[in-house]
Structure 1
Amino acid sequence: MISIDLNADLGEGFGRWRLTDDERLLSVVTSANVACGFHAGDAVTMRRVCELAAERGVRIGAQVSYRDLAGFGRRAMDVPPAELAAEVAYQIGALEVFARAAGTRVSYVKPHGALYNRVVHDEEQAAAVVDGVVLADATLPVLGLPGSRLLKVAERAGLPAVTEAFADRAYTEQGTLVPRGQDGAVITDADAVVERSVDLARSGTVASHSGERIPVRARSLCLHGDTPGAVELARRVRGGLESSGVRVEAFV
């Protein structure tokens, strides 16, 4: 049977401000990308999400970012490689404390926002992220875009490289994500998102921004927790996958 993991960005709050409906999304997804304090999240939020994820058997991933709370980690930044590696390890280590306290552990690492997009093509920044992961735990899988420099560097370092796809984001013909600033970059039609999810899981292909079908083979499917109606959309995606014969389960 075909299987796929569902991951979502969670813990994206700070103090009294909450962006994601963590509790309800954790009843749908199989992996949680938890903000580690650099683009969102704080100690209390991280602890709470880890406890909720552990209760539901959801895998915990460290969503590491550039240090950019004001820009939600979506602004391009130039960070020296040694500094970036140390900051990636720092974020993983912080989340690991709360995961262990909840009776579980950090199971994988995924970059966020501008860092995620940068390491698709930038070998130096990709190597810095991998160095940080190795510093924290040399067994952790790394989640990223198929064909990215990040996954290639991770494989060379002996880390498990896990490919992911985005049902609610438009793709270029080269298999990269259309930048958020462009029209149509985010797909908001729920029926289209469900259809694309099933397509990605069953055929390993998706329609690009121009309509051309492109290969996007992924072990995990990302559902953005900060979009309007995220919980209901996640439920519909999971239901669509399961009704089409796709088993939804964590990749680790």
Structure 2
Amino acid sequence: MDLNCDLGESFGNYRLGNDEALLSIVTSANIACGLHAGDPLVMGRTVRWAVSKGVAIGAHPGYPDLQGFGRREMNMSAEEVEAFVLYQIGALAGFVRAEGGELVHVKPHGALYNQAAKDRALARAIVQAVKRFSPHLIVVGLAGSVLVEEAREAGLPAAAEGFPDRAYNPDGTLKSRREPGAVLQTVEAVCQQAIRLATQGAGEGTQRVPVDTLCIHGDGAHAVEFATAVRESLLTAGVALRSLSPESLRL
């Protein structure tokens, strides 16, 4: 099982999360590319840390919405989405190459990620951008989403993602944040959810969806504590941790 985290989201005088500490815990990093968060100095520094710690690096493109942190839906054409995603992949790849590393995956951020989980045209635009850059990059999307389906149909490797700190519906979809209990608050609940996702997948019964990677949110006040506990719980449960790679994915 891969353990990933969204990182590099500070910019200018704005500081968010403890990236260096989290990079000693996770196995993959999704690094912001400067449009929803991050800036060139933060991108370079975060990539440098990831390379030094042997953490797999992925581009984390979002909508051009710095003020809204990429969490507001935007009405963009498929052509615009493809261009903006390609632009961001290329920006991060430049830093990765400069540090002697290798870009492994692409995971959309925020509203772009959530919309692409259901909107097939949007998902195709993202997949097309990734494929144009490199057909070997892994597309990371919500387990059971159309983004994962579109990536696989296009011949790209895809990783199905689960969230240890979120409650799920029986069909494997995430419970709406508007519902009580949608976000798990305790270390114990998050660790139990992580083990369940890693060993059983998301959802219940015949609707269960396998999961390849677990996301730890890096911007929470207790991110390092939660990430450490999840890592230790998975290892104790006999779940081996490894970075994302095409060879590691369940096809």
TM-score (norm 1): 0.93
1:250 paired with 2:243, answer yes
Q: Report the identity percentage.
A: 48
Select which of 130, 135, 160 maps to 2:132. 135
**4+ aligned runs moved over 3 Å, structure 1:** 179-183
Unaligned segments of structure 1, at least 5 residues: none
2:21·2:224 contact (CA, 8 Å) conserved in 1?
yes
Moved more, 51-60 or 149-158: 149-158
CA displacement 1:78-101 (0-9 Å, x = unmatched) = 111101101000000000010111
Displacement, 1:181?
4.1
Q: Which amino acid aligns with 1:238?
A: R
CA distance in 2, matches of 1:220, 1:133: 19
How many Å apart are 1:50 and its aligned residue? Answer: 0.3
Partner of 1:65: 62
Cα distance in structure 2, aligned partners of 1:107 and 1:159: 12
Q: Shift of residue 216 of structure 1? A: 3.5
Deviation, structure 1 residue 205 = 4.5
For 2:99 and 2:47, the matched residues in 1 are separated by: 6
Change (3 A) 1:225 1:105: same
Matched to 1:101, the amino acid is: A
1:200, 1:216 within 8 Å by CA — same for their partners in 2?
no
More displaced 10-residue stretch of structure 1: 7-16 or 147-156: 147-156
Query: Could you tell me how far 1:214 is from its partner in structure 2?
Result: 6.0
Please say if residues 205 and 213 of structure 1, whose CA atoms lie closer than 8 Å, have aligned partners that are also in contact.
no
Question: Which range moves more in the overlay, 167-176 or 236-245?
Answer: 167-176
| Whole-Å separation in 1 of the counterparts to 2:17 and 2:31 | 11
- Any stretches of 5+ residues in structure 2 without a counterpart? 246-251
CA deviation profile, 1:43-64 (whole Å, cap 9, x unmatched): 0000000000000000001111
**TM-score, normalised to structure 2's length?**
0.93
RMSD: 1.6
Classify 1:201/1:232 alpha carbon distance in 2 versus 1 (closer, same or farther; 3 Å): same
Partners in 2 of 1:8 and 1:120 — Cα distance? 19
Structure 1 distance, partners of 2:190, 2:56, is: 23
**CA distance, structure 1, for counterparts of residue 132 and residue 94 of structure 2:** 16
Deviation, structure 1 residue 162: 1.0
Q: 1:234 aligned to 2:227?
A: yes
Once the two structures are TM-superposed, the CA of residue 105 in structure 1 deviates from its matched residue by 1.8
> How many aligned positions are there?
245
Q: 5, 8, 16: which one pairs with 2:5?
A: 8
Distance in 2, Cα, partners of 1:21 & 1:104: 21
Deviation readout 1:76-129 (Å, 9 max, x if unpaired): 111111011010000000000101111102110001111111111101101111
- Quote how far apart the aligned CAs of 1:24 are: 0.1
